[in-house]
Chains A and B, each alone.
Chain A
Amino acid sequence: MDEGASQQNALTRRDMIRRSAAVLTGTIAATSALATLAPTRAWALELQTLSQHDGETILAFGQTLYPHATLPTAVYAMLVKDLDVAAKDPATASLLRDGTASLDSAAGGNFAAATPAARLAAAKAIEKTAYFAKVRSTCITSLYNNELAFAHFGYQGASWPKGGYIHRGFNDLTWLPNPPAAASPTVGVL
């Protein structure tokens, strides 16, 4: 990745950490199991409705469903946060709690503590369930529609505030030859 882009992503990360303080708030209790998953003590996930075990299970389940080796755990915590909010609805809360039990059972006791292979097998075992569908579909927005994910995957988000890409690399690819002007005219006078 070129220097300009890493600089921009670094700025975006700082921006994200500042803004996500509103999302991932509170202080880590030293006794919280989630504290061990936090990259630093500067962020924490406070759960309003779900239990700590449910939270850990969902986080591990998200990592099993959508494994990205270097995607920060904080992104998977967004999934837990979103489902914690959804769990204000009693039917959803019940679905999620029963889901934790089903994953634990399928993994031979404790899904969150199981090996990746065992977690994958457990996920496959419950693939047809409503709980699986709920968590999987929530992942699509929770994991991939936030600024930390954008920074990780290199997606630059909104461009209007920066004047679009006409002067920011919309055609900066150099590992293939440029098309001839007849196919692709040069940028005209605005």
Chain B
Amino acid sequence: MAAIAHNDDTAVVIIGSGAGGGTLANELCQKGIKVVLLEAGKRESSQTFIQDEWESFNQLAWLDKRTTSGNWRVATDFPNLPAWTCKTVGGTTTHWAGASLRLQEHEFKALTNYGKLEGANLADWPIGLAELAPYYAKAEHKMGVTRTNGNPGLPGNNNFKVLYNGATKLGYTKCSTGHMAINSKFRDHRSSCLQMGFCFQGCKSGAKWSTLYTEIPLAEETGHLDLRPQSHVVQIETNAAGKATAVVYVDAAGKTQRQKARIVAVAANSIETPRLLLNSASNQFPDGLANSSGQVGRNYMRHLTASVYAVFDEPVHMWRGTTMAGIIQDEAALKPSRGFVGGYEMETISLGLPFMAAFINPGAWGSDFTAALDGYTNMAGMWIVGEDMPRETNRVTLNTAVKDQFGQPVPNVHYDDHANDLAMRAHAFQQGGNVYRAVGAKSVIETPPYPSMHNLGTARMSNDPKLGVVNKHGQTHDVKNLFISDGSQFTTSAAENPTLTIVTLAIRQADYIASAMSKQTV
């Protein structure tokens, strides 16, 4: 792999190696463009992944200090853990469950289709489904998404059997094992799914797509990638002309390094990306880098993420098999007669015994709690992924009272549920319970949101530099050679798991960056 000198200012420097950063790196390298890829975490592998929930969490999760505020229950139950995302090469693509859905056409025009909601900052995306369709197709091919490109759907596990039968009894018609970036046959030099479970803990067979063992090795093979793990970025520097010029990071030995850059792309996920921009404030950018709109850090979204678990008279053994290959899509449609705008997906989920104890009802104790766990073998479960409302007051800010290991203010994540979120969650809890009651559930448990696995919106897209941080290519309005390449770009959250769209945007952004570089417009 290329070793790019610190003083070499001709490379693209990408911060974060996950779905956005890892894909962007490979796409640029394939076009012959030099890339320095800075990743805060270590380089693990399928060999080093651990099928033990707590040990794996300590291996892969972003555990740097964070604080929370707002009326969301996460602030009470997990005050220092607003999100379950990763600090490792491959980012959160090591931990994700593989659900790969395109956003729906109407979701790109959320303000037009939902109308203005009091206390919500709805806006239309500056792009739509038609424009993204060819890139979605490339992403699905790249990731090996089932039910696309001739890839068969995955076989359903016991948890899916329960979901399917309940869904059918209720009259739902859009239930299947879904679009998953998990090999249903040997493909792309990677194994077919062994139905191990532990999808959240890193796939030990490599059947699940992750930039760790796809995009990054492909990029390395071009000779244009300089991947630097354990490189924690602390600042982006700009010059008097308002161009990004260098990225400052702390290396594995604890030494501060400065890497010059022709272009900087930030893909540190939606809490660290705005934090980095805010921590890169200067005389030129007193409110934070690229923050003339004031929207950096704002409009933080995390989807609904409630869960429903149910205990039956017969065994399910839901931990056997994929964590999430199962979906009911009927409720993802726009149907305001339900009492809310936006929709939600219902997806199978399983947690092992250790995490079930921790997350099924955080803080709870006593015989009601233990009755649920006593039924663990006979338990089925689903995760609700729903569109939550963007709010300017839901935001990532710098907590100047609390410093991290490098002396920088940690991020505070503030979130208050919107009335639309509450109405949607109530409906989803009811319907989720109905699915399981329809096939004989003895008890139904409504589980509150986990630390957020989907984090979005904090550097949103808009055509208007006053209303958003980036344009429709993820290019910041204020700094032409500064890009955002992760889910921070999302204007609204839509009902779908975001990874496929993040990869799609990165493929398209690579085209734009390459073209702009050759035309010298950036």
Contact = CB atoms under 8 A, between A and B. Distances in A.
A150 interface: yes
Interface stretch (B276-284, B368-376, B394-402, B417-425): B368-376
A16 to B, nearest CB: 14
B498 interface: no
A172 interface: yes
B185 A189 contact: yes
Interface in A47-64: none
B62 interface: no
A173 B162 CA distance: 9
B198 A160 contact: yes
Given A65-B366, A144-B373, A184 B176 contact: yes
B155 A171 contact: yes
B377 A1 contact: yes
A165 B157 CA distance: 10
A1 B376 CA distance: 13
B162 A160 contact: no
A110 B504 CA distance: 64
A156 B197 CA distance: 11
Contacts of B426: none
A150 B353 contact: yes
A155 B374 CA distance: 11
Nearest to B322: A170
B336 interface: no
A156 B226 CA distance: 41
Query: Interface range on chain A: under 10, 10 to 19, 20 to 34, or 35 or more?
Result: 35 or more
Choose among B194, B370, B373, B377 the residue with the greatest number of A CB atoms under 10 Å from its CB.
Answer: B194
Interface stretch (A18-26, A87-95, A97-105, A135-143): A135-143
Contacts of B198: 158-160
A171 B185 CA distance: 18
Interface string A143-171: 11100011001111111100111101111
Nearest to A153: B376
Contact of B54 (A145, A163, A166, A169): A145
Contacts of A189: 185
Contacts of B191: 190
Given A159-B198, A172-B158, A182-B176, A188 B192 contact: yes
Interface string B349-375: 000111011100001011101100110
Given A141-B354, A155-B353, A165-B195, A185 B369 contact: no
A66 B316 contact: no
Given A65-B366, A66-B369, A171 B319 contact: no
A144 B162 contact: no
A140 B358 CA distance: 6
Interface string B310-351: 000011110111000000000000000000000000000000
A190 to B, nearest CB: 5
A170 B156 CA distance: 8
Given A141-B354, A176-B439, A66 B176 contact: no
Contacts of A65: 365-366
A187 B155 contact: yes
B458 interface: no
Residue in A153, A170, A186 whose Cβ sees the most chain B Cβ within 10 Å: A170
B391 interface: no
Interface string B187-204: 000011111111000001
Interface in B190-246: 191-198, 204-205
Contacts of A67: 366-367, 370
Contact of B320 (A143, A150, A170): A170
B325 to A, nearest CB: 9
A175 B165 CA distance: 11
Interface in B30-54: 51-54
B161 interface: yes
User: How many residues of B sit at the interface, in one of the four size bands?
Assistant: 35 or more
A144 B373 CA distance: 10
Contacts of A139: 365
A188 B195 contact: no
Contact of B155 (A150, A158, A186): A186
Given A157-B51, A165-B320, A149 B176 contact: no
Contacts of A120: 366
B490 interface: no
B377 A66 contact: no
Nearest to B153: A185
Given A160-B204, A166-B194, A184 B155 contact: yes
Contacts of A190: 185-186, 191-192
A149 B376 CA distance: 12
A68 B157 CA distance: 28
Nearest to A155: B353
A178 B156 CA distance: 9
A150 B200 CA distance: 19
B373 to A, nearest CB: 7
Which among B52, B186, B314, B374 has the highest number of chain A CB atoms within 10 Å? Answer: B374
B156 A179 contact: yes
Nearest to B154: A185
A169 B365 contact: no
Contacts of B365: 65-66, 136, 139
A183 B175 contact: yes
Nearest to A145: B354
Contacts of A188: 152, 155, 184-185, 192
A172 to B, nearest CB: 7
Contacts of B54: 141, 145
A169 B320 contact: yes
A49 B155 CA distance: 52
Given A1-B315, A144-B373, A164 B196 contact: yes
A170 B157 contact: yes
Contact of A179 (B161, B193, B194, B374): B161
B314 A175 contact: yes
B177 interface: yes
12 contacts: A68-B373, A143-B357, A153-B374, A154-B317, A157-B51, A170-B320, A171-B156, A171-B195, A171-B321, A183-B175, A184-B155, A184-B161
Given A145-B357, A155-B376, A186-B155, 13 more contacts: A140-B357, A144-B354, A145-B54, A149-B353, A153-B374, A156-B319, A159-B197, A160-B51, A164-B197, A179-B160, A179-B165, A188-B185, A190-B186
The 10 closest A-B pairs by CB, nearest first: A164-B194, A184-B156, A164-B196, A170-B321, A158-B51, A144-B357, A154-B377, A165-B320, A155-B353, A173-B158
